Amino acid sequence: MINKKDTILAIDDEKDILIGLEEALKDHYNILLAENGQEALQLIKKNDISVALLDYIMPGDNGLQTLRKIKELDPSIEIIMVTAISNDPNLAFELAKCGAFNYILKPFDIADILMNICRASERRSLIKISEGLIAQIENKSFIGECAQIKKIKQIAKDVANHDTNVLIEGETGTGKEILAKIIHESGERSSKPFIVVNCGGLNSQFLESELFGHEKGAFTGALEKRTGKFELANNGTLFLDELGNMPLDIQGKLLRVLETKKIERLGGSKSISVDVRFISATNINLKEEIAKGNFREDLYYRLNTIPIKIPPLRERNQDIMLLFNHFLAYYNKKYRRSFSFISPIAEKALTNYNWPGNVRELKHIVERIVSLNNSKKLKTNHLPIEIMVSTENDFPSNKQNTLKKMLQNIENRIIESTLQECNNNQAKAAKKLGIAPSTISEKIKALKKYEK
């Protein structure tokens, strides 16, 4: 279906062709014109382009070079190449490899141009909708099916429509802020602000200014009035991240806000009422900090009305592949990849890894794998070395767990994965690994086990 709101960019060094395209398309789309690749890139920086009609032969950068630069600048733009070259069998392959939607031969028919634009525009819209839904799912749902996560989801649902203060505990990377957003967006304050304050990233004076705001001239460098996070979060939610690192003097002032629902800006004398729902998070044990004198016990009990503890990923083993597949689907869409199968050996390594960085580490590793590789099957040689060495029983915790032994196990995993990829063809696997067939034969014999 033609969408008049879509903007089409026509790129051709022949002005007559540009004028003809403009006349033919202006009743259906918003049209922009460029006579070369450089002009096109400038227009793309300033406009939301849906589809580009790109001439192949142009002075300066040719169509293929321009296509690559457009995709680097905005991968979402669908590109239709227009060319007079009809006898190059590699052209279609090269264009597809670089991300072109289709190519049309000159002289072209306007009806053909319109049909291709329509299809390309629809494809772009579907991809954007799909990416949006995946992002929405990622931001608004806490993924996991283990008993602990199911319980957390139920608590989050139960407290969403109440103003009860919530304290979320968990290691770095477990998803504390995501859970806080879910609670906020599931409740009556969802249309109001969700404001984040990192309590560990600022010293006492700057954190106080961040929270309460300040009047002009309140301290050296206060050149203008600043609204603080309490006011910005009014009627919404204030998320206090890294609560355990909040300085003691600020803890006392926060307690006062909790009791009175009022603040004063630094350097000001006017009392300002605030209606804020507090959700806090910490990755350190606050009871231990109370015992050390680093955290106020009265503040702890005010903020800890509803405690939620997110378990580390290593304690929810059954969720690892659920999360991995979720992020794999997300980044497949984002980077236009097609990973659809994870080898059993790779899956075993993933589930046995300790995940010290928790879900955040897993997400970043999936993005790294997908962005750097274009394959349908995810194998152990795609995984970082720290995951490859984690397979169960490979590294017994005794003095014989030497560097040589560890490296041998890594080598074994790479050989196994490559053989699987090559359907157990040793000659092909040896070529892929850059070693002699006799060498791989010897190494296969030396393997303690080999999973076909």
Quick check: 395 pLDDT over 60? Answer: no
pLDDT digits (tens, 9 = 90+) for 238-271: 999 999 999 999 999 999 999 999 999 988 888 9
- Tokens 């309590």 belong to 199
- Sheet (strand 277-282) strand order: 194-198, 237-241, 277-282, 166-169, 306-309
Give percent helix, percent strand, percent coil of the chain, each to the nearest 5: 50, 15, 35
Confidence of residue 92 (pLDDT cuts 50, 70, 90): confident
Quick check: 225 pLDDT over 90? Answer: no
Confidence of residue 179 (pLDDT cuts 50, 70, 90): very high
Q: Choose between 391 and 154: higher pLDDT.
A: 154
Q: Show which of 292, 311, 330 is a domain's final residue.
A: 311
Quick check: 437 pLDDT over 90? Answer: no
Based on the fold, state whether residues 358 and 233 are members of the same structural domain. no
Confidence of residue 449 (pLDDT cuts 50, 70, 90): very low
Q: How many CB atoms lie within 10 A of CB 190?
A: 15
Based on the fold, state whether residues 227 and 305 are members of the same structural domain. yes
How many domains does one find in the chain?
A: 3
- How far, in Å, CA of 34 to CA of 39, rounded? 5
pLDDT at res. 142: 84
Q: Show which of 278, 311, 344 is a domain's final residue.
A: 311
3-state secondary structure of 419: helix
> How much is the average pLDDT of 199-210?
85
- CATH classification of the domain holding 45: 3.40.50.2300
Domain that holds residue 415: 316-446
pLDDT at res. 233: 93
Identify whether 2 is part of a domain: no
> How much is the average pLDDT of 105-111?
85
pLDDT digits (tens, 9 = 90+) for 340-381: 888 888 888 899 899 999 999 999 999 999 988 888 888 887
Contacts of 123 (CB under 8 A, 6+ apart): 78, 101
Q: By the 8 A CB rule, do 196 and 176 touch?
A: no
Quick check: 452 pLDDT over 50? Answer: no
Based on the fold, state whether residues 22 and 98 are members of the same structural domain. yes
Mean pLDDT score of the chain, rounded to an integer? Answer: 85
pLDDT at res. 436: 82
- Tokens 């903020």 belong to 303
∠ CA 374-139-195, nearest 5°, is 135
Quick check: 132 pLDDT over 80? Answer: no
Based on the fold, state whether residues 352 and 373 are members of the same structural domain. yes
> How much is the average pLDDT of 179-190?
92
Based on the fold, state whether residues 291 and 169 are members of the same structural domain. yes
- How far, in Å, CA of 18 to CA of 173, rounded? 52
Top mean pLDDT of 29-38, 143-152, 274-283 is at 274-283
Quick check: 89 pLDDT over 80? Answer: no
Q: By the 8 A CB rule, do 32 and 7 touch?
A: yes
Q: What are the backbone angles phi and psi of residue 162, rounded to the nearest 5°?
A: -115, 160
Quick check: 131 pLDDT over 70? Answer: no
pLDDT digits (tens, 9 = 90+) for 44-80: 888 889 999 999 888 888 888 899 888 888 888 899 9
Instruction: Choose among 302, 353, 359, 283: nearest CA to 326.
Output: 359
Contacts of 277 (CB under 8 A, 6+ apart): 163, 165, 184, 187, 189, 236, 237, 238
- CATH classification of the domain holding 336: 1.10.8.60
Quick check: 402 pLDDT over 70? Answer: no
Quick check: 429 pLDDT over 70? Answer: yes
pLDDT at res. 392: 44
pLDDT at res. 135: 52
Please state which of the ranges 187-201, 261-275, 362-376, 391-405 shows the lowest mean pLDDT.
Answer: 391-405
Identify whether 451 is part of a domain: no
pLDDT at res. 391: 55
Q: Which residue blocks in 233-357 are alpha helix, DSSP H? A: 248-260, 286-291, 297-303, 320-335, 344-352
- How far, in Å, CA of 370 to CA of 36, rounded? 33
Phi/psi zone of residue 49: left (φ > 0), alpha (ψ -120 to 50 degrees), beta?
A: beta
Q: Chain-centre distance of CA 214, in angstroms? A: 35
Q: Are strands 341-342 and 213-214 parallel, antiparallel or unpaired?
A: unpaired
pTM of the full predicted structure? Answer: 0.61
Identify whether 226 is part of a domain: yes
> How much is the average pLDDT of 327-348?
87
